[in-house]
Structure 1
Amino acid sequence: MTELSKTPVTPMVGRGLSAIGGPRAVRRLQTGQLEAFAESIRTFLIEKVCASGGHLGPNLGVVELTIALHRVFESPRDAILFDTGHQAYVHKILTGRAAAFDRLRQAGGLSGYPSRSESEHDWYENSHASASLSYADGLAKANELRGRADRSVVAVIGDGAMTGGMAWEALNNIGASRRPVVVVLNDNGRSYAPTSGALANHLHTLKQPGNHTSAGGRAGPNVFTELGFTYLGPVDGHDIGALHAALDQARALRQPVLVHAVTVKGSGFGPAEGDEADCLHAVGTVDAVTGRPVPTVGPPSPSWTSVFGQALLELADERKDLVAITASMLRPTGLYRMAVKFPERVFDVGIAEQHAVTSAAGLAMGGFHPVVALYSTFLTRAADQVLMDVALHRLPVTFVLDRAGVTGPDGASHHGMWDASLLGVVPGLRVAAPRDSHQLRSLLREATAYDEGPSAIRFPKGTASKDIQAVRRIGGVDVLSESGIRDVLLLSYGPMAHMCLQAATQLTQQGIGVTVADPRWATPVTPELLDLAANHRLVITVEDNSRTGGLGSTFAMCLRDHAVTTPVHVLGLPRAFLTHGPREQLLARVGLSGAQIASAVLRARAGKPLDHTTSTDGSLQ
């Protein structure tokens, strides 16, 4: 990368920050320039993120901390690892990517998370919490094995992410190793919402007057010192000088050190600091002065999340045995309304999906019906618990998976495109994919009334689909349209119904008989659906999940098991990590627009291979 010359740098917004070619330039800044430099970064972030959307609050809170990190440590020689990488925007600016912020989280533009393909300064693409310390442990071992005694490994992790069990597994290993790992605990008292639990109480105690340590001093016993770390702090996370001194000391010790940096989420932007909900954690397009969403034309349409939240509250009014669990995402998963009205029946367990699922199992054993609300991408972390702790005991637990399928601007680590494949192998677990808000309400009621085993309901990010009325219902299957000629059965899962209906219209105009059906419950496959498939010449399944082991694959296997010989073609997402971009654009890229589905039907009827998107290794999936 091109670095600045040794001439003093005058910090500016816009082009001035774009001239920062790498961390070496940041290290050349004079001490007297740092405060103004930090403010220029903060102004830049507010301008760019408010215009494009993204994670605003977390990055405003780490401006000074990131500057200090890059002045003390020499990236990429020293590995700087950001846990839940939505706090890495400042790191991107300081490593030469400021000019790319005009296309933040847009297709072909800058990722909203660290990305190995973007920069040598990004060690991984990470948006799942609590993983940075394990990466750090492995890198420190690698440095030791290769004789790189002069290199440091730094992990920046928030107090919210420290509620995850994986973080403590890593701390247990790092503290006993004596290897030079610096853990920077970015303590802003929050994840999305205020951090809860015993750790939050312990950190609060450490921040009380009398617990501060000066450079060179030592703290009294605490949970971190007991695990083998030298504890430095608490340090003002917005004082670059104090941070520099603490990080310098941590680097020099060449052993496990925890630097406790106390920051303010959303620091320097009044609307974020005053937002008690989530400090403008993640925003769409908002006003750069007020922090309020830019008004849209007409009344706002309800989101999938808000429809679920209201439906759950109505059920909770009816049933005292209904409880809810979230993993530090009370508002993002729609549980806030229930938590306000029934606080004793809503449990925020911190960023601990595995614990959330097994705790739900315990609640079910105790006579309650738990609703576990998670993002689809985070359920994958608790696959074993779903299988062995819930399903093995046939416990009545309802999993509600928000952000299923293609989520859009958050990219590969946030797409919820594997949940149906993982859940498809779980014995006795039922999976539903509502096509619209009415069906979401109906299916949630059915799931919470089922007491013979677990159920899961998956729906995408964004505005809930407009309601689609069925022309008739066969058993539990909704027929959405039919032409009278039983030629092609389009089996649509969830909101893909809209694309299937578009395809059916095009095909009918060409004289092809098409039936569009919505199974509602994707598993188990009902006898009525098997009969419907047997009475058509061709079946095409369409889903917003991986084709590999997904809902369509499960249905095709079921047809074979029941000797139904109708040919089946499965349309879905490829076995690949999809990039970030608008949902509709990404679906079209993998062949899931209405016109592309119609084209796939024509090819299948003609006996031609379907043009599936290739995987990352070039093989057809």
Structure 2
Amino acid sequence: MLIEPGKLLAAVNNPDDLKKLDQTQLVQLCDELRTFIIDNVSVYGGHFGASLGVVELTVALHYVFNTPQDQLVWDVGHQAYGHKILTGRRDVFHTNRMYKGISGFPKIKESEYDAFGVGHSSTSISAALGMAVASKYKGSEDRQHIAVIGDGAMTGGLAFEAMNHAGVSNSNLLIILNDNCMSIDPNVGALKDYLTDITTSHTYNKMKDEVWNILGRISKFGPNAREIISKVENSIKSFLLSQSNMFESLNLRYFGPVDGHDVNHLVSVLDDLKDIKGPKILHCVTRKGKGYGPAETGNQTTWHAPGKFDKVTGEIRKKTYDSPQPPKYQDVFGHTLVELAEKNEKIIGITPAMPSGSSLNIMMKAMPDRAFDVGIAEQHAVTFSAGLATQGLIPFCNIYSSFMQRGYDQVIHDVCIQDLPVNFCLDRAGFAGADGPTHHGAYDIAYMRCIPNMIVSSPMNEAELRNLLYTSQLPRDGKAFTIRYPRGQGVMPQWKTPMEEIKVGTGRKIKGGEEVAILTLGHVGNYAVEACKNLETKGLNPAHYDMRFVKPLDEKLLHEVFTRYKKIITVEDGCLMGGFGSAVVEYMADNNYSAQIKRLGIPDEIVEHGEQIELQRECGFDPEGIEKAVIEMTEQILAKS
């Protein structure tokens, strides 16, 4: 079902068409754009609240600036749906986040209007500053460079590093702070409180408006007038606010706060800011989910990406089942951690801004003094955990696999070099699905197993996850402990099993067999079980081993495998380069074994977005892919005999 755009939106195929509209028509266009987003996401799913919150800002930016000549960088990209629709992708927007469809995030290869590909937070200012410096170097200083960043992403260290540099760069950079007090979950930390102080200071805002009005009237009297008024404005800011303006102290000219839902005022302000050279920041106050009642007044975390819903009633459509379904792995983690923490007072939970996504919110509700959301700050989350570990506490640092990449130096420098027993629970390991390559947890096996003083494990099901969590909180001498698990459901409706210790570095034989052995790591072991059942109907009987640990490997089990089988298939939902299969090949070489090994996993290429099973099928490690690999190996054996 294709969604029909409104009359004005139907005529806008690119920003040049947008500029043909009279400014008085922009309010109607914003209404049509918002309706188009609501209609599409309600039917096809996707991110929601963030894009509704910046409809007016998006229209104003493309109306005022000459994109793509002027370069616009969105931070994270959850909020860029309106941008995509206005820049030539309206008629294919229904394919958003679908397999082989357009990306849910800005992407350089998808459109010239996507100046920089994004997906992780806090990158926009650095990227836009690099572009601005390049333009200055190339003599194109009339080119505009705009970074749109949310107040949640602003807490990321990279954003502060970029602002610190921007303040001394004298480059033509405009930072737009989209302040809605939310990232995915509500924002935390001192910056949130600081921005609240600015936006709620009625005296400051009243006098700020008066100063801006005076500036507009006096500027015609000469170039010095603007400088004089600027000094007066800065003095007022410092006098009225409880502390000096943080952004001004970084040498960024601060403007705002302004109403981010007044499109005509935004056009006026942006038009003025075009003529002000150097680095500057515009503070826009918006509301996530603006224009759709349930998203505005309801649980904004839920409405960040609600899935399909009834746009009239606001009822989110959920699948119904005739029988109990397995839980999500993240929920098994959340409930099990509380269960363990009730018996072990040393356990502390940490997450960087993903309490609902990781289900640490379960512990935050049950034990608010023992679970911490540290904001979008993965580096800090890791080193904070290391500090806790030095004092004898047991930190469980829960981070998405792809986000852990942002704290990698801290894993090495602050945890493993010091041999501290920090537990890393990596959610979204393997393919993340529709979020695509910026969120795929493709690399954690390879990047974790190469570090000394690190244990790396992955459970095949919910019971194994509970056992690994139980094992990781038992006393041990040093060594970090990584437990990786995928997005989505497990396989056990009755998942709350008794917990028991797993000896570190031990796997298990799922079934014996003949000629071919399948070695799996993690949830994909269930695919091997399915493949083996199908192969039995074809008269084939491969063995199956669930290795559980990629570091340390179960060498006793591998000795059995290489002694009995000359055809071996490894299966993992991680990158083949340096991953689990590579570890098995290394073991074979180091111990003078000889076998034919077929490695199944994520190839050495960027895999795009789609449903998890679609991407696993594309890469050949879904149940059919495993079955095919066994048949091919068996045919080779038969051909030789």
Partner of 1:601: 630
- 2:327 and 2:376 map into 1 onto residues whose CA distance is 27
- CA distance change for structure 1 residues 597 and 468 in 2, over 3 Å: closer, same or farther? farther
> Which digits, 9 at most, give the CA deviation of each residue in 1:125-168, with x for residues without a partner?
20110001110111011101111021010000000001000001
- CA distance change for structure 1 residues 575 and 178 in 2, over 3 Å: closer, same or farther? same
Partner of 1:274: 297
Alignment of 1:483-562 (within 5 A): 483=513, 485=514, 487-534=515-562, 535-562=564-591
AA aligned to 1:32 is: T
Conservation of the 8 A alpha-carbon contact between 1:377 and 1:415 = yes
Matched, 1:337 2:362: yes
> Which digits, 9 at most, give the CA deviation of each residue in 1:588-617, with x for residues without a partner?
111112222222233345569xxxxxxxxx
- 2:387 and 2:425 map into 1 onto residues whose CA distance is 18
- 2:196 and 2:624 map into 1 onto residues whose CA distance is 57
RMSD between aligned residues: 2.0
> Which digits, 9 at most, give the CA deviation of each residue in 1:237-291, with x for residues without a partner?
1011221222122211011110000000111111111234516111222222343
The offset of 1:18, in angstroms, is 4.1
Among 44, 47, 52, the alignment partner of 2:39 is 47
Among 392, 409, 414, the alignment partner of 2:434 is 409
Among 69, 72, 81, the alignment partner of 1:80 is 72
What SS is found at the alignment partner of 1:210?
A: helix
Among 477, 487, 490, the alignment partner of 2:507 is 477
The offset of 1:26, in angstroms, is 1.6
The offset of 1:38, in angstroms, is 1.0
Conservation of the 8 A alpha-carbon contact between 1:540 and 1:569 = yes
What SS is found at the alignment partner of 2:426?
A: strand
Among 259, 262, 266, the alignment partner of 2:282 is 259
Matched, 1:235 2:258: yes
- 1:99 and 1:15 map into 2 onto residues whose CA distance is 14
The offset of 1:542, in angstroms, is 0.2
Matched, 1:137 2:163: no
Alignment of 1:173-572 (within 5 A): 173-207=165-199, 208-212=201-205, 213-214=208-209, 215=212, 216=215, 218-219=233-234, 220=237, 221-276=244-299, 278=301, 280-298=303-321, 301-451=326-476, 452-466=478-492, 476-483=506-513, 485=514, 487-534=515-562, 535-572=564-601
- 1:120 and 1:282 map into 2 onto residues whose CA distance is 26
- CA distance change for structure 1 residues 290 and 376 in 2, over 3 Å: closer, same or farther? farther
Aligned-residue sequence identity (percent) comes to 38
What SS is found at the alignment partner of 1:338?
A: helix
Conservation of the 8 A alpha-carbon contact between 2:11 and 2:17 = no
- 1:398 and 1:499 map into 2 onto residues whose CA distance is 27
AA aligned to 2:510 is: L
List runs of 5+ in structure 2 lacking aligned partners.
Answer: 216-229, 238-243, 496-501
AA aligned to 1:241 is: N
List runs of 5+ in structure 1 lacking aligned partners.
Answer: 1-11, 609-621
> Which digits, 9 at most, give the CA deviation of each residue in 1:505-548, with x for residues without a partner?
34444444411111122211123222222222222110000000
- 1:279 and 1:237 map into 2 onto residues whose CA distance is 22
Report which stretch shifted further, 533-542 or 184-193: 533-542
Conservation of the 8 A alpha-carbon contact between 1:184 and 1:260 = yes
What SS is found at the alignment partner of 1:440?
A: helix
- 1:580 and 1:532 map into 2 onto residues whose CA distance is 39
> Which digits, 9 at most, give the CA deviation of each residue in 1:546-566, with x for residues without a partner?
000011111221232223333
Partner of 2:221: none
Partner of 2:90: 98
What SS is found at the alignment partner of 2:167?
A: helix
Conservation of the 8 A alpha-carbon contact between 1:50 and 1:291 = no
> Which digits, 9 at most, give the CA deviation of each residue in 1:403-435, with x for residues without a partner?
111111111111111111111111121111111
- 1:364 and 1:435 map into 2 onto residues whose CA distance is 28
Q: TM-score, normalised by structure 1?
A: 0.92
> Which digits, 9 at most, give the CA deviation of each residue in 1:79-126, with x for residues without a partner?
010001111001011112111122111112121000222211001220
- CA distance change for structure 1 residues 300 and 71 in 2, over 3 Å: closer, same or farther? farther
Conservation of the 8 A alpha-carbon contact between 2:519 and 2:571 = yes
Conservation of the 8 A alpha-carbon contact between 1:437 and 1:467 = no
- 1:193 and 1:459 map into 2 onto residues whose CA distance is 22
- CA distance change for structure 1 residues 97 and 319 in 2, over 3 Å: closer, same or farther? same
Conservation of the 8 A alpha-carbon contact between 2:188 and 2:375 = yes
What SS is found at the alignment partner of 1:449?
A: coil
Aligned length: 592
Q: TM-score, normalised by structure 2?
A: 0.89
What SS is found at the alignment partner of 1:195?
A: coil
Conservation of the 8 A alpha-carbon contact between 1:232 and 1:246 = no
- CA distance change for structure 1 residues 265 and 152 in 2, over 3 Å: closer, same or farther? same
AA aligned to 2:182 is: R
- 1:545 and 1:468 map into 2 onto residues whose CA distance is 28
Report which stretch shifted further, 52-61 or 213-222: 213-222
Report which stretch shifted further, 74-83 or 247-256: 247-256
- 2:159 and 2:336 map into 1 onto residues whose CA distance is 35
- 2:100 and 2:7 map into 1 onto residues whose CA distance is 21
What SS is found at the alignment partner of 1:44?
A: helix
The offset of 1:482, in angstroms, is 2.3
The offset of 1:468, in angstroms, is 11
Conservation of the 8 A alpha-carbon contact between 2:77 and 2:105 = yes
Partner of 2:227: none
Report which stretch shifted further, 320-329 or 22-31: 22-31
- 2:367 and 2:270 map into 1 onto residues whose CA distance is 44
- 2:254 and 2:530 map into 1 onto residues whose CA distance is 61
> Which digits, 9 at most, give the CA deviation of each residue in 1:442-490, with x for residues without a partner?
1111122253311111111112234899xxx99932222223x3x2110
Among 602, 612, 615, the alignment partner of 1:573 is 602
- 1:16 and 1:546 map into 2 onto residues whose CA distance is 46
Conservation of the 8 A alpha-carbon contact between 2:575 and 2:602 = yes
AA aligned to 1:275 is: G
Partner of 2:617: 588
Conservation of the 8 A alpha-carbon contact between 1:489 and 1:533 = yes
Report which stretch shifted further, 298-307 or 114-123: 298-307
- CA distance change for structure 1 residues 110 and 443 in 2, over 3 Å: closer, same or farther? same
What SS is found at the alignment partner of 1:54?
A: coil
Conservation of the 8 A alpha-carbon contact between 1:266 and 1:279 = no
Q: Which structure has the larger Rg?
A: 2
Report which stretch shifted further, 395-404 or 151-160: 395-404
What SS is found at the alignment partner of 1:211?
A: helix
Conservation of the 8 A alpha-carbon contact between 2:26 and 2:264 = no
Conservation of the 8 A alpha-carbon contact between 1:273 and 1:279 = no
More helix by share: 2
- 1:133 and 1:435 map into 2 onto residues whose CA distance is 40
